[in-house]
Amino acid sequence: VQVVESGGGLVQPGGSLRLTCTISGFSVIDYGMAWFRQAPGKGREGVGYITRGGTVTLYADSVKGRFTISRDGARNTLYLQMNDLKPEDTAMYHCASCHLGNGCALNWQSESGFENWGQGTQVTVSS
């Protein structure tokens, strides 16, 4: 299993980035998938979650309306489109897969239900 995040970088407030999570060893459509982030000195925070069926997406209140999680089964890839970025979005962003048999939707913001963490991609929002 390999999970590799990419697409991070330095962006000005109000800008956009698209993060990519490239997966090998399992299929992105067989699991609920999430993006988490961790800022320096803070705990890991759930940002967005997509259910195994792909029909439901959930977001943290802090990013709702600005971030969109999606997946491409053919490319076996998970995405996070981030618009209207703010300095408080600065963090290391990770993707992970849900390992709970009933899915992670009920408690998706808890990292305990997830595995197959990548190394992360750094997002810095600054002028």
What is the strand order of the sheet 67-72 is part of?
A: 2-6, 17-24, 77-82, 67-72
The string of pLDDT tens digits covering residues 70-103 is 999 999 999 999 999 999 999 999 999 999 888 8
Give dist(CA 15, CA 98) in Å, integer: 30
Q: What percent of the chain has pLDDT over 70?
A: 100
Q: What is the pLDDT of residue 32?
A: 96
First and final CA of the chain: distance in angstroms? 37
pLDDT band of 48, cuts 50, 70, 90: very high
